[in-house]
Each structure stands twice: as C-alpha cells, then as structure tokens.
Amino acid sequence: MVPPAVARLSRVWFPSGGIAVSGAEDAHSKLIRAGFLRQSNAGMFHMLPLGRRVQDKVEGLVASHMEQLLGASRVSLSAISAEALWEKSGRLEKVASELFRFSDRRDVPYLLAPTHEEEITSLVARTVKSYKDLPLRLYQITRKYRDEFRPRHGLLRGREFIMKDLYTFDSSTESALETYENVRAAYSEIFAALKLPVLPVKASSGDMGGDLSHEYHLPTPLGEDRVISCAICDYVVNEEIASSVVSEAVPADTLGDTPYGIWRGITKNRTKLVNVWYPKWTRSLGNDELREHTAQDVNLSVVKSVEPDLDAGVEDALPLWAIAVAAETRTAAEVINVIDSRLPPSFADSLSGPSPNVSSWPSELNPPISRLSVSSRHGAGRAGSLDVLRIRAGDKCPRCLSGSLKVDKAMELGHTFFLGTRYSEPLGAMTTVPPAVHPFPMQMGCYGIGISRVVGAAAEHLADKTGLNWPVAMAPYSCVVIPGGDCDDGDAVQVYNHINSITGPGSGLIDVVLDDRKRSLPWKLTDADLIGFPVIVLLGREWRTAKRVEVQCRALGMKQVVEIGELPTLVGQLHASL
C-alpha cells in the first residue's frame, strides 16, 4: 500500500498575511486576514481552501449525527422552488420581503429557497403512501438564500448561507414528539462536540408554523436575540415568548414628569403607523426598585404580536410616514395605537387625533385609528394585560415567583420545530394506519442548524487578540508541524509521520499538516496563531541540540518541550480534551 502523501501548507492556496490590522479586529476580519474567506457581494462569501476545510468538518460532524443517531437519509433538494407551491402552503406573502424571486422565459414565477418545507412535503406526498414507510427522516446540507435587509457580521447574518435541514414524518403525534426529543438530544451532542456552550431555549415558531419549538443559542455580545433565564428554576426562553411579573406604573405627580413615552414604527408596506405608548416610570414588585424607561425598552416582539407586518428594521418611522401621507403618495391607511395596560384608561380617550406630535394630515386622506388594548401572553402577573416593555435583569420569574431573571444577548445557531400537520395537510402528505379507513395528514417536524453561522460564531466566540482559536473538531488542521529554518525536511516529515500514527483516544480527530512554506520561523509562528491551529509542534533549537520538540496549545496556555517518544501521547491527550 502506498502511504498517504504528506499534507503540506505549500500545496494549499490561502492568501494569509499581507493585510494590516486596523483598530479593534473582530473574528470576521481575522477570517479574512488569515485567508479563510473573501466577500463576493453584500452578505455573500467565497470560502477559500482553509474555510472550506472548516465548513467540511462541521458538515461531517452534523451528518454523522443525523445518520448514526437518528437514522436519517441524506437528500439534495433543488435550490429553486415554485411560487405556486408556497402559495398552496399559505406562506408566500408572509415571507415575501425576504425572498429572491424571479420568473423564467415563460413567466412562471420561482424563488430561491430560504428553506424547504414545501418542497420536501410535496416530494413525500408524491412518493410515500403507506404507513409502513414511516417514520421517515430526510436531511440535507445545502445553500440557502434570504434577501436580508441588512446583512452584517460576516457569516453571522448573510444572504447566502449553508444550512442543515432535517425533515421528519411520523404517523402519530406521540411518535413525532418522541422524534422531536431524539433530535434535541442529538443537537446537544453536536454542540458539545464543537465545544460551544449552546443554550436550548423555548421559542416562538414564527412563520414556520407549529406550536412547539426550541432555539439553540450561543451567548455573545453580537447576538441579536435576548435569552431570558431564571437563576433558580429551569425557566429558559427566548424574549419573544418570555413573561415576567408585571411591574406597577408610577403616577406622574409622584415624579413631576410626563407619565408616558412613545415609540413609533411603520409596517413593511408603509400603510400603517404604529404608535406604542408605555409608562415612563415603573416600580418593580417585590423590591420597589424605581425604573425609568425609554423607547429602547419597547419589546418589538410584543408589538409584532399586535401588528405582524411591523418593519422592525426601521429606526425612524416618521420620514417614511410623511411620504405615506403626502397627497401625491396617499398610501397611508391606518394609525395603530398600542397602549401598555399600565397606563390609565383615560389615556386612550385622550388620543383625539391621528397621533400627538404627528404633522397634520391632508384633508382628503384621514386614516382610521385603532386603539388597541389586547390580551397578551406577556405580563403573566396580570390577566389580560399588555406589557410592551422588555424584561430587565432582576425581574421576578413568572414560573417560580421567587427567582430573578437574567438577560443574555445570544445568537441562534439551530432551531427545532414540531410542525404537526401545518404543511402535510395543505400539501397532501397523507397516510392511512389500520384500522382507520380514511387517510390523514402525516405529523411533521423540521430541524435546522446554520452551518455557516456555526463557523462564524465559533470564530467569534473562541478568538482572542492573537488570532483564531478553533476546537479540534472544526479546525482546518488540528495540528501543524513547523520546522525551523535550518531543519531538514526529512526530520520534519519524521515528526509528521510520528504524529499521524497516533492511535487511541482523540486519534480520530488528528489532522496534521506540515508548514514547509519558504518563510521565516517567526513569521510562521505568528501565522499559525492567526490561523488558529489547536496544537503547534515546533522543531527549533531543542530539536537541533537534543532531538526534542516544543508543543504549544494556546487554548490551554501551555508550552512544553518533550522527547519525540512522548509526543504521540501528549498530542493525543490534547486532541481528546480540545
């Protein structure tokens, strides 16, 4: 048998170095400077060889869990989906603003799929008829497309991205819920293997449908979600569905200040102005803490539960509303006043015009006003209340009432949904289980992991001022051998082969490469730290004098000189722990 060729960095193209550090450098900038990727368009990236190796490692890990733990079969669905199918499921207009849409030469409308519930359900409906073919688990790892209004943070919020989707089909609700819990267990193993401290969080199903879902969040200052958790009990939820014990509004004469504040938003179609009125001061129940609130404290998830078409990305709605009410435009249709239930009933009666502090309306266009004071799942401390303010750290837990709530910014890396018959019923994925005579819809679940986002999130979470710092499960190479300038190539290959022959715990993760580039030793060491190899084996002065190597592991803060005979054991131990 011909031994495998030595993996050499001189044979891998990655434009590392040559880009100066400018100011505070985030992990995305390090990915670019180290040669992992390059931007092609806004929110779109080319993965270069090092980046592709990281992506492949994550894909391989996820795929092995899908197949070995869940018995799923891998498919590859078309990236193009017919709009007619999305109309049939009733989802087209709900997500239209985020779709890349086009027509072919026959004017048939299509879209680039941001997700594949419609396509996979249609496929199964045409293919599976017998209950004997269930349960069925199908997954794919593929490119997805979403026309993000503001792509940002590199791989963390892109318009083109790699996603793993698992779709499950069961013949009963009980079986589907068992599948759901099995997938959740597999997700916990995946994120543990990636060394990412991900929090499973109960969440809203949103446009996806169904009534049971969990998100998998990585706490990070870059996160766009807020995770609410109790310091005592197991209450952990996304802010979208979080509750708290409602605080009391403080009367105006207590503080000699205006008792209310206002936040203004606008709908995506620019036809409705949304005014959110909230108490400017509240007092927490239980500790009498006095709190002042600003427009930044308005919970947009609550506002969207009242007006689902709210454009949450608009920071200043009034210029857009001025265009909507202009005589030549005339798109304005309604002003919606969302009123926090802690404001007195007389406050709603005081809103006598379209809205205070809004410029006068053209006489020929006078939209109707909706004064909303609706029941909400928010504000568990008061039945039928509408609490439009965000939960703050220290608020009372609605579940145990004795614990205080913690608020963390976090980033979603995965999501699990129990869909029930949300798609199987309108798209005709039916089966019959004896003794039943008539077919009924299959019970479905869908389960996603953002592969691209995991790469970007791991880089951000683990990087330090020196460079990237990958866990061995997703590093482009888990170990690099760096020979000094006067070291013979044969010696470097000897050490390389010694590491490659390791067996035992951690050996399956060892992926060693030899840095034989024609660069100085200091340059190579700096570049190795930037790239983020978990383990560095250096053939330097100790090798020349005593045939000993220096092993470095920045994640563990270690540098250790060892005999070559001790090298396999040490490298194996490091791989097993990183």
Query: What is the torsional sign of CA 409, 412, 416, 421?
Result: positive
Identify which of 48, 44, 43 has the alpha carbon closest to the alpha carbon of residue 33.
48
Q: Are residues 252 and 213 in the same domain?
A: no
pLDDT tens-place values along the chain, 578 residues long: 555 789 999 999 988 765 667 667 899 999 999 999 999 999 999 999 999 999 999 999 999 999 999 999 999 999 999 999 999 999 998 888 889 999 999 999 999 999 999 999 999 999 998 899 999 999 999 999 999 878 888 999 899 999 999 999 999 999 999 999 999 999 999 999 999 999 999 888 766 666 789 999 999 888 888 899 998 998 988 888 887 676 777 665 555 566 888 999 999 888 888 989 888 888 776 566 788 888 999 988 888 888 888 888 888 898 888 888 887 777 888 888 888 888 877 776 666 544 444 444 444 445 555 544 433 333 333 334 688 888 888 888 888 888 888 998 999 999 999 999 999 999 999 998 888 778 999 999 999 999 999 999 999 999 999 999 999 999 999 999 999 878 889 999 999 998 988 766 666 778 999 999 999 999 999 999 999 999 999 999 899 889 999 999 999 999 999 999 899 889 999 998 88
**Residues 300 and 320 reside in one and the same domain:** yes
Choose the final residue of a domain: 399, 427, 460: 460
Domain end residue (candidates: 440, 460, 480): 460
**Are 115 and 195 found together in one domain?**
yes
Question: Among residues 11, 9, 15, 18, which one has the least CA distance to residue 38?
Answer: 15
Residue 120 is predicted with a pLDDT of: 97
For 328-354, give the DSSP string.
TT----EEEEEE-TTS-HHHHHH--SS
In a domain, 140, yes or no: yes
- 181 lies in the same domain as 87: yes
Task: CATH number of the domain at 506, please.
Answer: 3.40.50.800
Whether 548 maps to a domain, the answer reads yes
Residue 252: per-residue pLDDT: 56
Characterize the bridge pairing of strands 272-279 and 334-339.
Answer: parallel
Pair 565, 510: CB distance under 8 Å: no
pLDDT for the residue numbered 375: 33
pTM of the predicted protein model: 0.85
What is the length of the chain? 578
Domain range for 552 is 466-577
Query: Rounded to whole angstroms, how far apart are CA atoms 475 and 497?
Result: 19
pLDDT at 371: 46
Helical pair 173-193 and 49-68, crossing angle rounded to 10 deg: 140
- Residue 447, C-beta contacts closer than 8 angstroms, at least 6 positions apart: 165, 166, 167, 168, 183, 187, 414, 415, 416, 417
Quote the pLDDT of residue 364. Answer: 42
Is 11 within the bounds of a domain?
no
The answer to whether residue 26 is domain-embedded is no
Question: Is residue 49 in some structural domain?
Answer: no
In the block, residue with structure tokens 């070559």: 564
Count other Cβ atoms within 10 Å, centred on residue 361. 16
Q: Which residues contact 325 (CB under 8 A, 6 or more apart)?
A: 332, 359, 361, 362, 365
Q: Is residue 301 part of a domain?
A: yes
Check whether residue 312 and residue 360 sit in a common domain.
Answer: yes
Distances (CA, A) of 291 to 118, 251, 262, 342: 47, 13, 16, 14
Side chain identity at residue 439, one-letter code: P
CB 213 within 8 A of CB 204: yes
- Whether the CB-CB separation of 476 and 208 falls below 8 Å is answered with no
Same domain? 448 vs 490: no
Question: Is residue 311 helix, strand or coil?
Answer: coil
In terms of domains, do 354 and 488 share one? no
Residue 504 confidence (pLDDT): 66
pLDDT value for 20: 65
pLDDT at 305 (0 to 100): 81
Distances (CA, A) of 543 to 281, 563, 565: 69, 9, 13
DSSP-assigned beta bridge partners for residue 558? 553
Token pair belonging to 14: 């990655």
Q: Are 175 and 135 in contact, with CB atoms under 8 Å apart?
A: yes
- The residues near 18 (Cβ < 8 Å, ≥ 6 apart) are none
Residue 339 falls inside a structural domain: yes
Are 93 and 156 contained in the same domain?
yes
Q: Give the DSSP per-residue string, 492-509.
A: HHHHHHHHHT--STTGGG
Within this chain, do residues 235 and 94 fall inside the same structural domain, yes or no? Answer: yes
The answer on 213 and 347 residing in a single domain is no
Are the beta carbons of 418 and 202 closer than 8 angstroms? no
- What is residue 315's three-state secondary structure? coil
Same domain? For 360 and 475 the reply is no
Domain final residue, candidates 336, 364, 390: 390
203/255 same-domain check: no
Q: Is residue 244 a contact partner of residue 222, using CB atoms and an 8 Å limit?
A: no
CATH number at residue 95: 3.30.930.10
563 neighbors 506 (Cβ within 8 angstroms): no
Is 401 inside any structural domain?
Answer: no
DSSP codes of every residue in 151-214? -BTGGGB-SEEEEEEEEEEESSHHHHHHHHHHHHHHHHHHHHHTT--PEEEE---GGG--SEEE
Q: What is the total count of domains within the chain?
A: 3
